[in-house]
Chain A
Amino acid sequence: DIQMTQSPSSLSASVGDRVTVPCRASQTISSYLNWYQQKPGKAPKLLIYAASSLQSGVPSRFSGSGSGTDFTLTISSLQPEDFATYYCQQSYSIPWTFGQGTKVEIK
């Protein structure tokens, strides 16, 4: 199985900050990488697919980058509604796997 590592597991930031959330794959996955946002008690929501494509309806302050084994989700200016947990997920090979998540908390 491909292991997806998200470190740190949590980070603190303020409204208006530029925030980067890293994700590393245990082997190369090209750009088969997706990002999801999850708020407490809710289902995950797709933000970014194929490493850098913004899902329709998602604010442009979210962006994704990377290829191979190292990926980054960037929030250009953190908004109050962005405090949540973010998961990366690879679809390069079965079984599809998720990172353990990074929780973005209020500083």
Chain B
Amino acid sequence: QVQVQESGPGLVKPSQTLSLTCTVSGDSISRGSYYWSWIRQPAGKGLEWIGRIYTSGSTNYNPSLKSRLTISVDTSKNQFSLKLSSVTAADTAVYYCARGATPHRPGEAGKWYFDLWGRGTLVTVSS
């Protein structure tokens, strides 16, 4: 079955760039009409949507992070990636990658939901 898995450094120094990759396995990342998203969760807190990318390269970012954020896709590797610059302790969180899907029923297109999640990876920002 299709799976997604995050990878990247677990420790990043303040002011540096956080880089994570999500690898899609079990199917082509380009198959179907999916958006691929990053979501994070600080310890003991709620979920924050970071941004999304379509396999065409089209992106949407959370305005709260937009100035520091880049999400890219490499279809040849079946991966998409996150880069968050100038990190601070406030960026410490579990980072999830997830697949965004939409119903195929008439009138329901655009009602996006996250149907597939990675296990998450903890990124700590500390010197």
Chain A interface residues toward B at CB < 8 A: 1, 31-32, 34, 36, 42-46, 49-50, 53, 55, 87, 89, 91, 94-101
Q: A43-B117, A43-B119 are in contact. Are A96 and B112 (CB under 8 A)?
A: yes
Report yes or no: B46 in contact with A95, Cβ–Cβ below 8 A: no
Pairs across A and B, CB under 8 Å, 19 listed: A32-B111, A32-B112, A34-B114, A36-B114, A43-B118, A43-B119, A44-B47, A45-B117, A46-B114, A49-B103, A49-B111, A49-B113, A50-B108, A89-B47, A91-B111, A95-B62, A96-B112, A98-B47, A101-B46
Is the pair A97, B49 in contact by a Cβ cutoff of 8 Å?
Answer: yes
A96 contact set on B, CB distance < 8 A: 49, 112
- Of the candidates B61, B62, B64, B112, which one forms a contact with A91 in the assembled complex, judged by CB atoms under 8 Å apart? B112
Complex partner residue of B103 from A44, A53, A89, CB under 8 angstroms: A53
Q: Chain B binding site: helix, strand, loop or mixed by DSSP?
A: loop
Question: Which of A42, A46, A99 has the most chain B CB atoms closer than 10 A to its own CB?
Answer: A46
Asked if residues A43 and B96 are in contact (CB atoms below 8 Å), the reply is yes
Q: Which residues of B lie under 8 Å from residue A95 when comparing CB positions?
A: 49, 61-64
A98 to B49, CA, bound (A): 8
Nearest chain B CB to A71's CB is how many angstroms away? 13
* A55 CB contacts on chain B under 8 angstroms: 115
Closest to B45 in A: A100
Cβ contacts B27-66/A at 8 Å (1 or 0 each): 0000000000000000000111100000000001111100
